[in-house]
Amino acid sequence: MGPEQLRAVEFAAHACGRLAAAVETAGGALADVLLIRHAVRVYDGDADLAAELMLARESMIVPDTSATAATSVDKNRSSILEACVEAGTIVAANPSSADTQRDAALAGALALVRGGSLPEPWVAPWQLDAAARSAAVQIDRSRSWGEWIRVWCHLLAREAGATEHALREAARHLSVERADARAQHRVGTTDAAVLEWLQSHLTFTIRDASAPLGLTKPTVGTAIERLESIGFATELTGRRRDRVWASSTLLIFAGSH
């Protein structure tokens, strides 16, 4: 790769590093929600798809790779991303079509995770601007990948920056909600504890929260219903029994474009 491509790779790698640091700072369930948000955006979904993915994700066993990935982010930012590009993992033949854009976006996200540039597949460009479409045409005509690599890395940096901003805004909303819950007369302590558990988990059930919080199931049930009534919690199943909630802020964030 030439100097322009290498500079673009470095630019994208630093943007991904800042995003990873922001996720680590935010904590809670935001990392899982970012993964869902990425899938929803790539496939033009909405809050309904986000809710379905939240329920599905919670039933999966997902290995915790954040510790090892965080270390490699600091040490190998540019080299990992460069290797992914050169191997062709984050690009695809004929990237001008919608299907291959999505395929390349998801393959690119996984490449960044496997290489250690990100702890989770949170971002990878799939919506091409005019420059990227022009570069895609060049690939079709001359098999020249240089401009595509440069443009792709700039798109990745832009998406990582926008995602970092949205993440920090969501974290701010969650903090405001916790302050509001604590301020409630008589029930502030209970609601704040239940809300913190809600925000720290992708999904929430009364049974799962009761024992860790040291509260009875009726107490937790009353609290989560109170949080639902003021807009902090959203019930996902529509059932009367075995109900599942999610943080309303996290759900909106997961389904946002």
Tens of pLDDT along 187-226? 889 999 999 999 999 999 999 999 999 999 999 999 999 9
Q: How far is CA 95 from the centre of its chain?
A: 23
Question: The domain at 171-254 falls in which architecture?
Answer: Orthogonal Bundle (1.10)
pLDDT of residue 133: 77
In the predicted model, is pLDDT for residue 97 greater than 70?
no
CB atoms within 10 A of CB 239: 9
What is the rounded end-to-end Cα distance, in angstroms, of the chain? 33
> Domain limits of the chain?
3-166, 171-254
pLDDT of residue 65: 36
pLDDT in tens, 129-166: 888 778 777 776 777 778 878 888 898 899 999 999 99
In the predicted model, is pLDDT for residue 78 greater than 80?
no
Task: Render 64-80 in DSSP notation, one character per residue.
Answer: --HHHHHHHHHH-HHHH
- Nearest-angstrom CA–CA distance, 182 and 171: 17
Sign of CA dihedral 160, 245, 176, 191: negative
More confident residue, 20 or 110: 20
Dihedral of the alpha carbons of 71, 72, 75, 79, in degrees to the nearest 10: -170
Q: What percentage of residues in the chain have a pLDDT greater than 90?
A: 35
Out of 57-61, 116-120, 169-173, the most confident range is: 169-173
- Nearest-angstrom CA–CA distance, 37 and 53: 9
User: Is-contact 100 39, C-beta < 8 A?
Assistant: no
- pLDDT band (50, 70, 90) for residue 71: very low
The mean pLDDT of the chain is 80
Out of 78-87, 122-131, 209-218, the most confident range is: 209-218
Q: Of 125, 175, 137, 168, which Cα lies nearest the Cα of 12? A: 125
pLDDT of residue 66: 38
pLDDT of residue 257: 66
pLDDT of residue 74: 38
Which helix or strand (DSSP H or E) is residue 247 part of? strand 245-247
Sign of CA dihedral 17, 20, 26, 27: negative
- Min mean pLDDT across 31-35, 85-89, 126-130 is at 85-89
